[in-house]
């Protein structure tokens, strides 16, 4: 352990992996930020903690079951002549869940379903907290599996992978609620965030069917769209400001 700590390559891999895990965790943060809006304000901080705590626990549990993860690469079923492994099935089901959930949320926000006056009051939230946490945990499993597989491909030491994941989740915890509050205050950002999740859902399904799409394209599209919307928000705020 002491020799490893003195090795600059180990520190380089730790920094690189932690940075990558933070980037990969953006998807997790966006989904949690969207889902937490469905619980009463007094319970949102707890929902963030449980959601991100679940993300860390899931990542560490998967990390310490590397043999099981390796076994997920073996084909379990064949669909349309293509073999699908356990990992592929998790990606397809998780991506499909994100596609359904994002589409459903966009429909409700645009058509005024859940957000209509009187439709989503505190009384209407009974039992919502448990269902929101359950949905967050489902998505945690999907993102954690992808995260652990990425970590295994970059680092060799188990402690390096575990440390990088802990650092990433701590950073996620620091920024999750501010991101969520920002998204909540701006309806256009809510739609944009849900559109990001739609993209991620498509990416996961494609990955499940061995259609590899570089995540760089997805993150570039997300960053570009975010930049355009921030410029639009700045312009709208200036137009709405009283002349002085």
pLDDT digits (tens, 9 = 90+) for 62-74: 888 866 666 667 7
The per-residue pLDDT for 153 is 65
Length of the chain: 244
Q: What distance in Å separates the CA atoms of residue 30 and residue 178, rounded to the nearest whole number? A: 11
Burial of 66 (C-beta count, 10 Å sphere; 0-12/13-18/19+)? middle
Tens of pLDDT, residue by residue over 3-60, are 555 666 777 778 878 887 887 777 788 888 888 888 888 888 888 888 888 888 888 8
- The pLDDT of residue 61 is above 60: yes
Higher per-residue confidence, 236 vs 46 = 46
Residue for token digits 């992996």? 17
Is there a contact between 66 and 74 (Cβ–Cβ < 8 Å)? Answer: no
Q: Is the pLDDT of residue 122 over 50?
A: no
C-alpha 12/C-alpha 63 separation (Å) is 20
């Amino acid at each position: 352990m002491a020799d490893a700590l003195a090795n600059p390559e180990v520190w380089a891999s730790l920094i690189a992996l932690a940075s990558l895990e933070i980037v990969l965790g953006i998807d997790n943060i966006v989904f949690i930020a969207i889902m937490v809006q469905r619980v009463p304000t007094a319970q949102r901080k707890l929902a963030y903690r449980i959601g991100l705590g679940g993300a860390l626990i899931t990542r560490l549990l998967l990390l310490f079951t590397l043999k099981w993860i390796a076994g997920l690469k073996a084909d379990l079923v064949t669909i349309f002549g293509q073999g699908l492994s356990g990992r592929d099935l998790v990606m397809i089901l998780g991506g499909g869940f994100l596609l359904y959930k994002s589409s459903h949320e966009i429909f409700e926000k645009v058509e005024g379903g859940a957000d209509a006056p009187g439709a989503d009051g505190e009384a209407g939230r009974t039992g919502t907290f448990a269902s929101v946490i359950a949905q967050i945990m489902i998505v945690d499993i999907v993102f954690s599996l992808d995260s652990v597989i990425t970590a295994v491909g970059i680092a060799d030491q188990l402690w390096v992978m575990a440390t990088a994941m802990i650092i990433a989740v701590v950073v996620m915890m620091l920024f999750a609620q501010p991101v969520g509050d920002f998204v909540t205050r701006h309806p256009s950002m809510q739609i944009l965030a849900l559109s990001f999740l739609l993209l991620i859902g498509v990416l996961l399904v494609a990955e499940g069917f061995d259609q590899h799409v570089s995540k760089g394209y997805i993150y570039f599209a997300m960053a570009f769209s975010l930049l355009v919307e921030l410029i639009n928000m700045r312009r709208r705020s200036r137009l709405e400001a009283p002349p002085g």
